[in-house]
Structure 1
Amino acid sequence: MPSHHTLAPPTRRPRRFSWTDPSTRALACQAAAIAAVALVAWFLVSNTLHNLASRNISTGFGFLGREAGFAIGESTIAYTPADSYARAIGVGALNTLRVALIGIVAATLLGTLIGIARLSGNWLIAKLSALYVELVRNVPLLLQLLLWYALITENMPGPRQAHHPLPGVFLSNRGLKVPTLEGSSVDWMLGGAALALVLALLLAHWGEKRREASGLEFPAGRVAAALLLGLPLAGWLLGGASLSLNLPELRGFSFEGGATLSPELAALLAGLVFYTTAFIAEIVRSGIQAVGSGQWEAARSLGLRRSRILRLVVLPQAVRVMVPPVTSQYLNLVKNSSLAVAIGYPDLVSVVNTTLNQTGQAIEGILIIMGAYLTVSLSISCFMNAYNKRMSLVER
């Protein structure tokens, strides 16, 4: 009768901590590095607290609940000088986020167009695009912001002599005044527009998957246009069909009513967008050129037009190359927005500077700025890394 032998699991030899063992040396070096960092951090914190105490300077974030006592020129939420420092800092953070969001979207669209234009077969378009990129990239951003601010404020007339290109639109050194919508249907219409945008993106994604699986085209553009027109109209009806136009009017030496795009915000957006666009354009150009010429030739052999080749064949492959460097440019745009203090736009840095000048809480103010920018930058990085992972090729 055959005997069955079972293999006993190998016995683990007890680990010996010896300096000749590479893993032991690695653990010792890591422990020493952690201890050194902790020692330096303890020294800096204790020395800072001792110096503050010796100068009778209070520490902590209790000042955030006190009354701010200063006005802010622009705010996306209601704010008065009687509000707390925390709300004032929140206003500055929202102003920074507004600039970052608008700047990222505008720089991406404009950078993509100029990057494609650099590869145009038209000599004039290609050279003008190259001239723009080389000129803007090699001029410091701060100088460009000051130039835009000077152009907007010094070359524009006063409110009484404001340019009036369209009914209800006024352009002066106080900014751009435009009409606004009022009424109970406005919120419903905005909700319908947001829902239409989400549905259009989902349907475009579904249409792309359907095209890859069956080769059938989905009219995503026409469907998106129908949604963007139909859902806000439905929101207008659900809201009671109450809608009116608030036109700005000149009263005294200023305008009342409507919405205002201030010179500071306009100059900041122009400087950030045109500066970042130059870098994104180069990334788009290099990403398109990274796609092999065989892809163009294979698509032409199928009878596709150049525009469809670029949209359906080349750009989807180039995006995989472009996403990491474009992410860096998004982060640069967010951090460069801190230069807004040079032209008087009340961003996060400007508001916190005013706060720490009044309260003397310099360290806490700097920590707030660092934490805010770190949070925004890490959020953008996480989103773009997830998108990059989703777009990457999966090996089989």
Structure 2
Amino acid sequence: MAPPNSPPKKSQAWSWRSKAFRGLAYQGIALALIALVVWFLAHNTLLNMRVRGIQSGFDFLTQSAGFSIGESLYAFDSSESYLRAFGVGISNTLRVALLGIVLATVLGTLIGVGRFSRNALVRGLCLTYVELFRNIPLLLQLLMWYLLLTEVLPAATEAWQLGPFFLSKGGLNFPIPIWATGHVWAAAALVLGLALTVLYRGWARRRFEATGQPPSLYLVPLAIVLTSTLLGWLLGGAPTAMDVPHKGDFAIENGGALTPEFTAVLLGLTVYTTAFIAEVVRAGIMSVPRGQGEAAAALGLSRSQEVRLVTLPQALRVIIPPLTNQYLNLTKNSSLAVAIGYPDVVSIANTAMNQTGRAVECIAIVMLVYLTLSLSTSMLMNWYNARAAIKER
């Protein structure tokens, strides 16, 4: 008689008596049923659309859009295709989502750390911020910011001016550099500087673990990035030409501009998500045993060094998973921008749907865009979570 833990024979491995074989069979049957249901729904939908004379397919993407887009990162003309219009919408969604993630992370971390300040006023202000903005629906906040920007601010002809900056109902106008080869060199040097800071931070942490001497994890990396960028700018000829805005007869002309719609969406998403990230950071810090802070003080570390070198690195294993959820929420909440007229991918899809009648296709494109963004964010944060996890030795 074979021992109870002995591996099954090859003849038994493909038998219904094998638990592994039954598991694979059940999974195959489940996948087949799911595929059958999806096929039935798709076939039934296409059949009903054909009976009612409703066209289907993605061939409309190559047709002329016939509408203009008020805000885009690159030039778009109404005679161009729907595919390029969707590209503009996706770029607008990415722009507000990425900027919102960066700003909300920085502000949320500061407010979360501020909840533990020894100053009662700072603690109270941080608590008030969190309780105020996380309990007001995001849509109402977007409308509030948009009304403030379009109703309270003066007209463009009477714009508030601070140096070369103008603020009015038309948005925020600011100087921008006139593109030159030197800017390409500066951008390449910036990327190189960021890579060098990653190497420095790894070396500094290993040195801290070996010697116990706290490194400068902020001043030195900042100096590396600024120095490398400055050198690249100098090597590229040090271009200084700027496109400066000025008051015209009816509007602010030249320079760069942030429209009221973009500014309202960015402010709303950032302010709202910051409150949740602050609570995530606070919970992560509270998960670190108090003895860690006492040990850091015994080593002579200052309060800021304790937070940067001891508390936050240990809190990251608790912070990162819920922080990922907040990033996903911010990206998906950007779809509410359609309520104030910001031309994101949802707004472009609505316009294309009304003009072409391809509702299923337009909705499918929007779903694919947000699914891709969400999965990409999850993969990136899971990779970072694996790197930040504390490894037992």
The TM tier, using the shorter chain, reads: over 0.9
Please state whether the residue corresponding to 2:172 is helix, strand or coil: strand
Rounded to whole Å, the distance in 1 between the matches of 2:323 and 2:166 is 36
Rounded to whole Å, the distance in 2 between the matches of 1:117 and 1:329 is 20
Please state whether the residue corresponding to 1:192 is helix, strand or coil: helix
Q: Between 114-123 and 239-248, report the one with greater CA deviation.
A: 239-248
Residue in structure 2 matched with residue 5 of structure 1 by the alignment: none
Identity of aligned residues (%): 52
Residue in structure 2 matched with residue 272 of structure 1 by the alignment: 269
Match of 1:53 among 50, 61, 65: 50
Residue in structure 1 matched with residue 374 of structure 2 by the alignment: 377
Residue in structure 2 matched with residue 187 of structure 1 by the alignment: 184
Match of 1:117 among 114, 119, 126: 114
Structure 1 residues 132 and 13: alpha-carbon distance in aligned structure 2, compared to 1, 3 A threshold? same
Rounded to whole Å, the distance in 1 between the matches of 2:165 and 2:127 is 35
Rounded to whole Å, the distance in 1 between the matches of 2:264 and 2:315 is 32
Pair 1:43-2:40 in alignment: yes
8 Å CA contact 2:189, 2:231 repeated in 1: yes
8 Å CA contact 1:183, 1:243 repeated in 2: no
1:71-96 Cα deviation digits (max 9, x unpaired): 11111122111211111100110111
Structure 1 residue 29, shift from structure 2 partner: 4.2
Question: Structure 2 matches for 1:1-396, cutoff 5 A?
Answer: 12=9, 14-15=11-12, 26-27=23-24, 29-165=26-162, 167-184=163-180, 185-396=182-393
Structure 1 residues 189 and 19: alpha-carbon distance in aligned structure 2, compared to 1, 3 A threshold? closer
Rounded to whole Å, the distance in 2 between the matches of 1:363 and 1:207 is 53
Rounded to whole Å, the distance in 1 between the matches of 2:9 and 2:131 is 64
Q: Between 143-152 and 58-67, report the one with greater CA deviation.
A: 58-67
1:121-146 Cα deviation digits (max 9, x unpaired): 22222122112111211111101100
Tell me which amino acid in the other structure corresponds to 1:321.
V
Structure 1 residues 219 and 292: alpha-carbon distance in aligned structure 2, compared to 1, 3 A threshold? closer
* Structure 2: runs of 5+ lacking an equivalent: 1-5
Q: Between 137-146 and 296-305, report the one with greater CA deviation.
A: 296-305
8 Å CA contact 2:68, 2:78 repeated in 1: yes
8 Å CA contact 2:314, 2:390 repeated in 1: no
TM-score (norm 1): 0.92
Rounded to whole Å, the distance in 2 between the matches of 1:394 and 1:249 is 57
Rounded to whole Å, the distance in 1 between the matches of 2:199 and 2:80 is 41
Structure 1 residue 301, shift from structure 2 partner: 1.8
Please state whether the residue corresponding to 1:14 is helix, strand or coil: helix
Tell me which amino acid in the other structure corresponds to 1:77.
Y
Rounded to whole Å, the distance in 1 between the matches of 2:305 and 2:104 is 23
Rounded to whole Å, the distance in 2 between the matches of 1:11 and 1:275 is 57
Aligned residues: 387
Please state whether the residue corresponding to 1:177 is helix, strand or coil: strand
8 Å CA contact 1:283, 1:322 repeated in 2: yes
Rounded to whole Å, the distance in 2 between the matches of 1:194 and 1:11 is 56
8 Å CA contact 1:200, 1:220 repeated in 2: no
Tell me which amino acid in the other structure corresponds to 1:303.
G
Question: Any runs of at least 4 consecutive aligned residues in structure 1 with deviations exceeding 4 A, and if so which?
Answer: 16-29, 216-220
* Structure 1: runs of 5+ lacking an equivalent: 1-8
Rounded to whole Å, the distance in 2 between the matches of 1:231 and 1:370 is 41
Residue in structure 1 matched with residue 3 of structure 2 by the alignment: none
Rounded to whole Å, the distance in 2 between the matches of 1:379 and 1:181 is 32
Structure 1 residues 70 and 10: alpha-carbon distance in aligned structure 2, compared to 1, 3 A threshold? closer
Structure 1 residue 36, shift from structure 2 partner: 2.8
1:39-62 Cα deviation digits (max 9, x unpaired): 221221111110111122222211
Tell me which amino acid in the other structure corresponds to 1:332.
N
Structure 1 residue 198, shift from structure 2 partner: 2.8
TM-score (norm 2): 0.92
Rounded to whole Å, the distance in 1 between the matches of 2:313 and 2:28 is 46
Rounded to whole Å, the distance in 1 between the matches of 2:233 and 2:51 is 63
Tell me which amino acid in the other structure corresponds to 1:101.
L
Structure 1 residue 230, shift from structure 2 partner: 2.8
Structure 1 residues 116 and 20: alpha-carbon distance in aligned structure 2, compared to 1, 3 A threshold? same
If you compute each CA radius of gyration, which structure gives the higher value, 1 or 2?
1
